[in-house]
Structure 1
Amino acid sequence: MKSNIVLYFLFAGCLVSACSQKSTQEPMREEIDLTIEAKQVAEYQGKPVFEYLLGNGTMQVELSNYGGLVSKIIVPDKNGKLENIALTLDHVEDFLTKPNPFFGATAGRVANRIANAEFRLDGTTYKLAKTNGNNHLHGGVEGFNKKVWTPEIYSNDSVVGVKMTYLSKDGEEGYPGNLETTLWMELTTDNTLRIRFEAITDKKTIVNLTNHTYFNLGGMKRDVLDHEFQFWADYYTPVDDELIPTGEVKDVTGTPFDFRSPKILGDQIAANREGFDHNMVRKLEKSPEMKHFVQVRHPETGRIMDMYSDNTGVQFYTANFISNFPGADGKTYDKHWGFCLESQNWPDAINHENFPSPILNPGEKYEHQIEYKFSVEK
């Protein structure tokens, strides 16, 4: 049985100029409508699957508790035209039955690749599913992207969002420990999509969570080769032919990975042959400090996206393996029709002693925050 829930929240904030002055006149006020619409669209394995639409009067984000999914991000261009800028399927319920390359999904328990689909922890070798050649990718056959999370709507004066929880049981997809994960996905009044993760375990394990949205700031009219990128990343981790890190940490200077000044993506891909599927390094060690990681600009539409993260790296992926994919609204997605900025720990970190550790011990808490802030240049 499908159900509909519509909740509206209104936040009225004083303009800076009005609130900073004493006056007998009624102060000017700026009203920002924060809204949540919730609709049950399906059941999966006996659990309800919801579609959520978060709005702030300027932009909208469509989410689901299936897969911790970001299914649409609808933002204006410089002329005020609203368009979805996330590669997706037509409906949330389509994700239950149609294979797709992790569009908008939460990837876990360990995002990215683990070499040879195995790792050792305290003398024990854990065997994982080989889902990417000889390697393990994004949590396995049924990773977090295929789980129904337990949702809860929330709001305050500056955000509306959905809190989701999922218990990954000891041995699921080969990983040790009962892992309790909490995911917050929220839209702010300043046009920021904020994603936060927390996780705790009862047994030593490994964790690396991220969101896998594919962006196209042009609104899916063509590929993203005309997008301009600037990374605040001085290093990257080279990979072998199977896209497994070699263990090196290289300076980007003099390479196609040097985006420290704004670069047109098509020019950099031409210099790097097939495209990017690499870890760009923002920090060499873990810390809770949020860093400005990337700015992406689309000159034609004026759309800008700034990404911030407290993690050590971001997997920069330029949709190299998408080909003739039937996407939403009758569009056919092809190579380089989107890009991913997957904030995370470094790939295959458990197999490289010089990489930041992905190990989570009992009594510790895994924490990770990502922000995608949207704006328009006039």
Structure 2
Amino acid sequence: MAALGAGLLATGLASPAGATDDDGASTTVEPFGTTPEGTSVERWTLANGEMTVRVLTYGGVIQTLEVPDADGEVGNVVLGFPDLAGYVSDDDPYFGALIGRYGNRIAGGRFTLDGTTYQLPLNDGPNTLHGGPQGFDDQVWQATPVGDDDVAALRLELVSPDGDQGFPGTLTTTVTYSLDADSRLSIHYAATTDAPTVVNLTNHTYWNLAGEGSGDVYDQTLQIHAGAYTPVDETLIPTGEIAPVAGTPFDFREPTAVGARIREDDQQLLYGQGYDHNWVLDRTDDGAREGSDSEDALEEAAVVHDPGSGRTLTISTTEPGLQFYSGNFLDGTLVGTGGHVYRQSDAVVLETQHFPDSPNHPDFPSTVLRPGEVYDSTTVFALAH
């Protein structure tokens, strides 16, 4: 898509409006331009305590997330664009976006449900990626502030009609971003359908705890609580195997520098040009969404630490899987919020999810959602320094 032209509001040009309570939690809103189709986009700012998060109604994007380092210096730790033009461009690599209807890849863009085969549009070589070429990341969501005296919160809503990107059923989705005084950003996903369908929602934030635009993350350490992962073929579709991480570059059971083994001669790393794989999380339950309270099922999944800034990110989730993507396809052609060019491995993406291509792997945890059921998933990002 073309740039939006002179009428586009760049970051910080509009005066925010909204509600702020006496305890410091605030949820404010400002205009953030207009899509090529003429739809107005808003930017909401959630602030509480030490952290500030800016969320766009376009794609539910987390545009910036500002938090102090060990010396008290506040910095933005996520990658993004300074204006709407970057997000509506075909070059946007899903910076900070909500992903749906189906996060990650579906082989051949095809799956069979209850005897009917559905064909989705292909947008990743021979496969469908992140819900198709016009997924949830390309939609304008309806926003409602829902915070209280202690928590700044925003609810986003989207109705995806039957047949949208080839998926069956009308899917009604709400995603709530909540920021508490302990520097925890929670994302709660809920969805219902009027016909059987498949659903796998996630968020695609790119993290660099040293600061957006500061360079590669090779020295930052990552720990993933997973003894197994799902190997892929040359198109990054899972083979169906659940493979142990022991003795491989995929063993992050102990904190390990992101770049420690990323250049090893390993066929899986060659396929992904780095890490772009799903880890099977070690859970004490089954990651059940069926009949369970998502808050009760939260378990720690991963920890990222930057030794330079002292910042630590801890991710907890109700989901059974975690996709670790090491920013392999950032190639120096995109300029971010801070005016810096983004290059390979300038961030890590950690997508809590059900497994890729699950509709075509009966042994994987099911992503089927039926009428009368509620898709219920929660992920919490806790930052400390």
Opposite residue 108 of structure 1, the aligned amino acid is: G
Residue 362 of structure 2 corresponds to 353
Residue 3 of structure 2 corresponds to none
Shift in Å at residue 3 of structure 1?
Answer: 7.8
Residue 28 of structure 1 corresponds to none
1:41·1:93 contact (CA, 8 Å) conserved in 2? no
- 1:316-327 correspondence runs (5 A): 316-324=324-332, 325-327=334-336
1:71·1:92 contact (CA, 8 Å) conserved in 2? no
User: 2:39 and 2:339 mapped to 1: Cα distance?
Assistant: 30
User: 2:104 and 2:231 mapped to 1: Cα distance?
Assistant: 14
Opposite residue 315 of structure 1, the aligned amino acid is: Q
User: 1:244 and 1:93 mapped to 2: Cα distance?
Assistant: 31
Measured on the aligned residues, the alpha-carbon RMSD in Å equals 1.6
TM-score normalised by L of structure 2: 0.89
Residue 311 of structure 1 corresponds to 319
SS at structure 2 position matched to 1:196: strand
- Runs of 4+ off more than 6 Å: none
User: 1:346 and 1:97 mapped to 2: Cα distance?
Assistant: 28
Shift in Å at residue 251 of structure 1?
Answer: 1.5
- CA distances 1:324-344 after superposition (whole Å, capped 9, x unpaired): 122222201011111101001
Shift in Å at residue 258 of structure 1?
Answer: 1.1
Opposite residue 382 of structure 2, the aligned amino acid is: K
Residue 4 of structure 2 corresponds to none
TM-score normalised by L of structure 1: 0.90
Residue 157 of structure 2 corresponds to 165
Which ranges in structure 2 are unaligned for 5 or more consecutive residues? 1-6, 8-13, 289-293
2:218 maps to 1:225? yes
1:186·1:194 contact (CA, 8 Å) conserved in 2? yes
Q: Which moved more, 1:193-202 or 1:54-63?
A: 54-63
Residue 291 of structure 2 corresponds to none
1:40·1:49 contact (CA, 8 Å) conserved in 2? yes
Instruction: Choose the corresponding residue for 1:143, options 135, 144, 150.
Output: 135
For these two proteins, the number of residue pairs brought into alignment is 355
1:43·1:49 contact (CA, 8 Å) conserved in 2? yes
User: 2:261 and 2:279 mapped to 1: Cα distance?
Assistant: 14
- Answer 1 or 2: which has greater strand percent: 1
Instruction: Choose the corresponding residue for 1:254, options 236, 247, 250.
Output: 247
Shift in Å at residue 250 of structure 1?
Answer: 1.1
User: 2:83 and 2:261 mapped to 1: Cα distance?
Assistant: 34
Residue 67 of structure 1 corresponds to 59
Opposite residue 321 of structure 2, the aligned amino acid is: G
Instruction: Choose the corresponding residue for 1:290, options 287, 298, 302.
Output: 298
Residue 10 of structure 1 corresponds to 22
Q: Which moved more, 1:108-117 or 1:261-270?
A: 261-270
Opposite residue 56 of structure 2, the aligned amino acid is: S
1:75·1:85 contact (CA, 8 Å) conserved in 2? yes
User: 1:209 and 1:226 mapped to 2: Cα distance?
Assistant: 30
1:64·1:92 contact (CA, 8 Å) conserved in 2? no
- CA distances 1:76-132 after superposition (whole Å, capped 9, x unpaired): 111111111111001246423463100000010001000011111111111111100
User: 1:315 and 1:41 mapped to 2: Cα distance?
Assistant: 30
SS at structure 2 position matched to 1:217: coil
Instruction: Choose the corresponding residue for 1:302, options 291, 294, 310.
Output: 310
2:116 maps to 1:124? yes
Compare CA radii of gyration and give the structure with the larger one: 1
Q: Percent identity?
A: 38
Instruction: Choose the corresponding residue for 2:344, options 335, 355, 359.
Output: 335
